[in-house]
């Protein structure tokens, strides 16, 4: 009971520290605001679209007439099949972010587990897990994604996220392992051992709060990696056709010839995608600066 | 045994073990995918040429043998390994009856030319500019570039590619958006052909350089700035060593070690091609070949490309480990 109380106290302390840092660093602040705005717009998209076009989904054929010019009802016009591009853009944000966040969470969970076991236990366990991690690191992932997507064409969102998550943890696991290795020799961990804390207590009370920043950075990296992979695959026409993500929208706008007819439509989709990556990256770089103060003066921003 | 020899033997053994693991994983992964490409292929041949069932059956046997699909999965695996050791990847379905390695060798120059050149250009630009602007801390250019780099380095290269195509091919009409050379020309060493290759390669290369150079710039800048506070630099400066020598001999060499490693690894990964990039630009490299092979479930070609890539990445890592002491004399094998 006592240890549960202690662990919740230490987690609360870590969270408080993170909130303080968000307010302090300008890069994190800007990145966080952009990302939050995208998140809100994305997840409000079903309601926004209901107000705009009623019960139809924006990617249904014939929501509007074919090739409608941009108007108040269809701010980005419609395509060859009368699909509502602005509505698809909003929904696409939701789908792309969901896949990214879910895959990131899965990858982080695996990375943390692997990194902690590997770094804390050491010896044979560490050696085996490290060989496994290193092998996974050199296996080219894109071909595997492509193969799976080609032969299991109808994957739901959760499975796509699971797939992307399962393969993208090794990088973060390495970083966490290295941190655990250096932390476990420090005096405060030795002290905890002398105080008869068991392994789980040491991991959750002493190590986890200290490694939290690296876990968050790893999580954001995985989120970006998952969105990067999903969008790229969809762009070249691979992936479940029923998931209207931003990558899918980009591939169909290019596919129907928007590049030459209405370049601003492609530019809008590309711009939203760029915003996702820029905001996440700003948060990451801000966090790294905060936890490694030497890097603070790297940019003139 | 000397510690150096012990280290070398251990390192090479680990290399062989990882390579074997990768080959095995790749072999089984793609064989376990449902679907029978040979049946489909033979069905296609029968529909157009043969009708006799007897002949068809012998043809199936013949092709199974040729594609290395005889016996159970384990026998196939052993046979595959034997062929692999002789440098034979097996017959390709996509380019039947040519073996997979021939198709790979045809695509390889395009990929190496495009991706290798862009990788080296972006590395050189990023590392030199990154180190130099961080060294000249008082200049504003470094900070401004770093700001740009933060924005650009994480934007996927394919998004940059789409933007470049949008601007330079569709809006301005200056550069071609597809292919590696003008299809009206036949490959030769003529000036016309080379010019066509350069013009077609500009957009794909530019989109890679734009994103990669910023990445190298940022990581070099981080490295340099964290080195600047080190005691050995302050001491060297106090000793009166000329700034240019300080930069070249004390700072830059320390930066090179991790950055050369990074370059080696990225060159290794290059062999698999940039699948998305090559598909967007219909560029005839390894990535484009792979996506076509996948469409036909061409086992031998798929496995061949993946094994080649794993081989190159692992070998690049091995070579880097072995040449570290040349770049950084502080590295000792037996530590």
Residue A258: CB atoms within 10 A of its CB come to 25
Read out DSSP for B147-197? HHHHHHHTS-HHHHHHHHIIIIIIIS--S--S-SS-TTSPSSS-HHHHHHH
Question: What pLDDT, on a 0 to 100 scale, did the predictor assign at position A297?
Answer: 57
Residues of B whose CB is below 8 A from A147: 29-30, 33, 294, 302
Question: What pLDDT, on a 0 to 100 scale, did the predictor assign at position A301?
Answer: 43
B306 touches chain A (CB under 8 A): yes
Q: Does A134 contact B18 at a Cβ distance shorter than 8 Å?
A: yes
Q: Does B22 contact A144 at a Cβ distance shorter than 8 Å?
A: no
Question: What pLDDT, on a 0 to 100 scale, did the predictor assign at position A16?
Answer: 77
Highest-confidence range of A214-223, B196-205, B290-299, by mean pLDDT?
A: A214-223
Q: What is the pLDDT of residues A269-288, one digit of tens each?
A: 999 999 999 999 888 888 88
Share of chain B above pLDDT 90, in %: 3
Share of chain A above pLDDT 90, in %: 18
Q: What would the mean pLDDT of B303-315 be, rounded to a whole number? A: 86
Distance from CA of B320 to the nearest CA of A (A): 15
For the whole model, what pTM was predicted? 0.81
Could you give the 3-state DSSP secondary structure of residue B52? coil
Q: What would the mean pLDDT of A221-240 be, rounded to a whole number? A: 87
Chain centre distance of CA B76 = 28
B150 touches chain A (CB under 8 A): yes
Residues within 8 A of A (CB atoms), B 243-272 only? 269, 272
Distance from CA of A277 to the nearest CA of B (A): 6
Q: Does A300 contact B144 at a Cβ distance shorter than 8 Å?
A: yes
Q: What would the mean pLDDT of B210-223 be, rounded to a whole number? A: 87
Distance from CA of A286 to the nearest CA of B (A): 10
Query: B167-171, B214-218, B301-305: which range is least confident on average?
Result: B167-171
Q: What would the mean pLDDT of B252-263 be, rounded to a whole number? A: 83
Q: What would the mean pLDDT of B96-110 be, rounded to a whole number? A: 84
Question: What pLDDT, on a 0 to 100 scale, did the predictor assign at position A300?
Answer: 46
Better-scored residue on pLDDT, A165 or B26: A165
Nearby residues of B168 by Cβ (< 8 Å), 6 or more positions away:
B174, B175, B203
Query: A247-251, B90-94, B130-134: which range is least confident on average?
Result: B90-94
Better-scored residue on pLDDT, B324 or B305: B305
CA triple A99-A104-A105, angle to 5 deg: 105
| CB contacts < 8 A (A, B) | 132
Q: What would the mean pLDDT of B120-146 be, rounded to a whole number? A: 85
Q: What would the mean pLDDT of B251-264 be, rounded to a whole number? A: 83
Give the C-alpha separation, A260 to B71, whole Å. Answer: 54
Query: B47-51, B156-160, B173-177, B299-303: which range is least confident on average?
Result: B47-51
Of A139, A150, A292, the CB nearest to B25: A139
Torsion of CA A285, A290, A291, A296, to 10 degrees: 80
Closest CA to B204 of B276, B120, B123, B151: B276
Question: What pLDDT, on a 0 to 100 scale, did the predictor assign at position B230?
Answer: 82
Query: What band does B39 get if pLDDT is binned at 50, 70 and 90?
Result: low
Q: What is the pLDDT of residues A124-179, one digit of tens each?
A: 888 888 888 877 776 777 777 887 777 777 788 888 889 889 888 888 888 888 88
Question: What pLDDT, on a 0 to 100 scale, did the predictor assign at position B267?
Answer: 79
Highest-confidence range of A220-224, B18-22, B71-75, B306-310, by mean pLDDT?
A: A220-224
Question: What pLDDT, on a 0 to 100 scale, did the predictor assign at position B335?
Answer: 44
Query: What band does B37 get if pLDDT is binned at 50, 70 and 90?
Result: low
Give the C-alpha separation, A138 to A131, whole Å. Answer: 11
**ipTM of this predicted structure:** 0.79
Question: What pLDDT, on a 0 to 100 scale, did the predictor assign at position A102?
Answer: 95
- Inter-residue contact B305 to B272 (CB < 8 Å): yes
pLDDT for residue B316 is more than 50? yes
Give the C-alpha separation, B195 to B172, whole Å. Answer: 20
pLDDT for residue B96 is more than 80? no
pLDDT for residue B170 is more than 50? yes
First-last CA distance in chain A: 47
Mean pLDDT, chain B, as a whole number? 80
Highest-confidence range of A82-96, B216-230, B282-296, by mean pLDDT?
A: A82-96
Residues within 8 A of A (CB atoms), B 176-205 only? none
What is the token pair recorded at A211?
Answer: 């490694």
Q: Does B33 contact A147 at a Cβ distance shorter than 8 Å?
A: yes
Give the C-alpha separation, B261 to B127, whole Å. Answer: 13
Better-scored residue on pLDDT, B71 or B150: B150
Chain centre distance of CA A84 = 27
3-state DSSP of A183-243? HCCCHHHHHHHHCCCCHHHHHHHHHHHHHHHHHHHHHHHHHHHHHHHHHHHHHCCCCCCCC
Give the mutation candidate from A141, A144, A232 for the B interface (greatest B CB count, under 10 A): A232
Highest-confidence range of A6-10, B63-67, B257-261, by mean pLDDT?
A: B257-261
Nearby residues of B101 by Cβ (< 8 Å), 6 or more positions away:
B87, B88, B89, B304
Chain centre distance of CA B151 = 25
Better-scored residue on pLDDT, A140 or A233: A233
Instruction: Give chain A's contact residues with B (Cβ, < 8 Å).
Output: 27, 131, 134-135, 138-140, 142-144, 146-147, 150-151, 224, 228, 231-233, 235-236, 250, 254, 259-260, 263, 266-267, 270, 273-274, 277-278, 280-282, 285, 292, 294-295, 297-301
Q: Does B150 contact A143 at a Cβ distance shorter than 8 Å?
A: no
Q: What would the mean pLDDT of B28-33 be, rounded to a whole number? A: 74
B290 touches chain A (CB under 8 A): yes
Q: What is the pLDDT of residues A74-128, one digit of tens each?
A: 777 777 777 888 888 999 999 999 999 999 999 999 999 998 888 888 788 888 8
Share of chain B above pLDDT 70, in %: 85
Nearby residues of B236 by Cβ (< 8 Å), 6 or more positions away:
B246, B250
Q: Does B29 contact A144 at a Cβ distance shorter than 8 Å?
A: yes
Q: Does A143 contact B275 at a Cβ distance shorter than 8 Å?
A: yes
Residues of B whose CB is below 8 A from A128: none
Q: What would the mean pLDDT of B185-201 be, rounded to a whole number? A: 78
Q: What would the mean pLDDT of A243-263 be, rounded to a whole number? A: 84
- Inter-residue contact A108 to A218 (CB < 8 Å): yes
Element (H, E) at B232: helix B231-238
pLDDT for residue A21 is more than 60? yes
């Amino acid at each position: 009971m006592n240890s549960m109380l202690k662990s919740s106290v230490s987690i609360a302390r870590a969270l408080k520290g993170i909130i303080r840092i968000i307010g302090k660093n300008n890069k994190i602040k800007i990145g966080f605001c952009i990302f939050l705005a995208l998140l809100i717009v994305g997840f409000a998209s079903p309601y926004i679209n209901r107000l705009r076009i009623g019960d139809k989904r924006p990617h249904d054929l014939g929501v509007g007439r074919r090739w409608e010019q941009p108007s108040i009802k269809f701010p980005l016009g419609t395509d060859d099949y009368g699909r509502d591009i602005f509505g698809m853009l909003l929904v696409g944000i939701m789908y792309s972010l969901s896949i990214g966040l879910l895959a990131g969470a899965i990858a982080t969970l695996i990375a943390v587990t692997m990194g902690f076991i590997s770094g804390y236990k050491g010896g044979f366990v560490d050696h085996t897990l490290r060989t496994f991690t290193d092998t996974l690191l050199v296996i080219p992932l894109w071909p595997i994604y492509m193969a799976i997507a080609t032969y299991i064409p109808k994957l739901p969102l959760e499975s796509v996220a699971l797939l992307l998550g399962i393969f993208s943890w090794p990088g973060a696991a390495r970083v966490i392992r290295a941190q655990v290795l250096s932390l476990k020799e420090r005096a405060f961990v030795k002290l905890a051992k002398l105080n008869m804390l068991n392994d789980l207590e040491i991991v959750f009370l002493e190590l986890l709060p200290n490694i939290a920043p690296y876990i968050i950075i790893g999580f954001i990296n995985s989120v970006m990696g998952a969105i990067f992979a999903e969008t790229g695959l969809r762009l070249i026409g691979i992936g479940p056709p029923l998931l209207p993500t931003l990558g899918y929208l980009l591939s169909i706008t290019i596919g129907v010839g928007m590049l030459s007819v209405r370049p601003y439509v492609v530019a809008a989709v590309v711009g939203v995608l760029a915003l996702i990556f820029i905001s996440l990256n700003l948060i990451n770089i801000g966090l790294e600066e905060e936890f490694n103060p030497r890097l603070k003066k790297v940019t003139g921003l | 045994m000397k510690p150096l020899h012990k280290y070398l033997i251990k390192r090479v053994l680990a290399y062989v073990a990882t390579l074997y693991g990768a080959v095995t994983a790749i072999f089984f992964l793609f064989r376990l995918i449902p679907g029978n490409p040979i049946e489909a292929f033979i069905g296609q041949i029968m529909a157009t040429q043969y009708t006799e069932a007897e002949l068809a059956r012998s043809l199936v046997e013949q092709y199974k043998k040729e594609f290395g699909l005889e016996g159970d999965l384990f026998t196939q695996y052993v046979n595959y390994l034997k062929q692999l050791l002789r440098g034979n990847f097996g017959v390709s379905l996509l380019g039947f009856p040519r073996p997979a390695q021939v198709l790979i060798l045809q695509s390889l120059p395009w990929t190496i030319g495009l991706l290798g050149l862009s990788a080296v250009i972006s590395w050189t630009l990023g590392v030199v500019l990154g180190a130099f602007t961080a060294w000249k801390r008082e200049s504003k250019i470094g900070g401004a570039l770093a700001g740009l780099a933060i924005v650009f380095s994480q934007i996927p290269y394919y998004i940059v590619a789409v933007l470049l195509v949008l601007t330079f091919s569709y809006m301005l009409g200056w550069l071609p958006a597809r292919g590696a050379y003008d299809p009206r020309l036949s490959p030769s060493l003529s000036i016309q052909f080379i010019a066509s290759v350069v013009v077609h390669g500009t957009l794909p290369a530019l989109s890679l350089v734009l994103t990669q150079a910023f990445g190298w710039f940022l990581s070099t800048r981080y490295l340099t700035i964290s080195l600047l506070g080190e005691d050995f630099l302050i001491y060297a400066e106090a000793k009166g060593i000329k700034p240019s020598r300080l930069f070249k001999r004390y700072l830059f060499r320390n930066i090179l070690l991790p950055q050369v490693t990074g370059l080696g690894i990225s060159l290794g990964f290059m062999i698999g091609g940039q699948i998305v990039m090559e598909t967007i630009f219909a560029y005839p490299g390894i990535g484009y070949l792979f996506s076509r092979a996948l469409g036909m479930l061409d086992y031998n070609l798929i496995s061949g490309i993946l094994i080649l890539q794993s081989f190159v990445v692992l070998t690049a890592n091995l070579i880097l480990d072995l040449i570290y002491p040349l770049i950084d004399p502080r590295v000792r094998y037996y530590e």
